[in-house]
Amino acid sequence: MSQRTVAVIVGSLRKDSVSRKVAKAIAALAPASLTFRFVEIGDLAFYNEDVEPNPPQPWTGFRAHIKAADAVLFVTPEYNRSVPAVLKNAVDVGSRPYGASAWSGKPAAVVSVSPGAIGGFGANHHLRQSLVFLNMPALPHEAYVGNAFSLFDDKGELTNEKTAEFLKAFGQTFADWIEQQL
């Protein structure tokens, strides 16, 4: 298996985000063939095509990070049965200018996180709709992490064994998916 770089996009800006904790747990438990690079989205101005001829540096830097990756892992909370606005904006910024999408052809995986039992089902599926349009082959195995606030200790360490087993298996499945797609 080749060494692959995975851009990690966390859909929450909170410093103590449980989505970020889940993303870090996946990175820690995944096969050594995957290198995870967290790509921050909080400094991306809202997408506006009027400024595209001279895009701001955060946009160009973000696009470069995505283009340099072999695959993308999205880990997101659910807001109002969809993805947070900051994540949708990052998807839009990376997809432009038209015909030069940074996302195209990148294998992807989606993990949705929720304090509730459903695990962010709505966010997961809304994001997958965008990935289809962006030509990102999404891992068909859906990953929902419910009751997420109870899975970590006060230091942010994953303490739930069943969730650790699930995330480890998910990481392996994603690694296999990346190889199949590239």
pLDDT in tens, 132-151: 999 999 999 989 999 999 99
Bigger pLDDT: 115 or 163? 163
Contact assessment for residue 4 and residue 35, using Cβ atoms and an 8 Å cutoff: yes
Per-residue confidence (pLDDT) for residue 176, from 0 to 100: 97
List of domains in the chain: 4-181 (3.40.50.360)
Contact assessment for residue 6 and residue 37, using Cβ atoms and an 8 Å cutoff: yes
18, with CB counted inside 10 A (0-12, 13-18, 19+), is buried
Per-residue confidence (pLDDT) for residue 153, from 0 to 100: 94
Mean pLDDT of 42-70: 97
Instruction: Kindly state the tokens that stand for 116.
Output: 């509730």
Mean pLDDT of 21-27: 97
pLDDT band at 129 (very low <50, low <70, confident <90, very high): very high
Per-residue confidence (pLDDT) for residue 175, from 0 to 100: 97
> 37: which residues sit within 8 A by CB, 6+ positions away?
5, 6, 7, 8, 65, 69
Mean pLDDT of 28-52: 97
β-strands 108-113, 143-145 pairing: parallel
pLDDT band at 35 (very low <50, low <70, confident <90, very high): very high
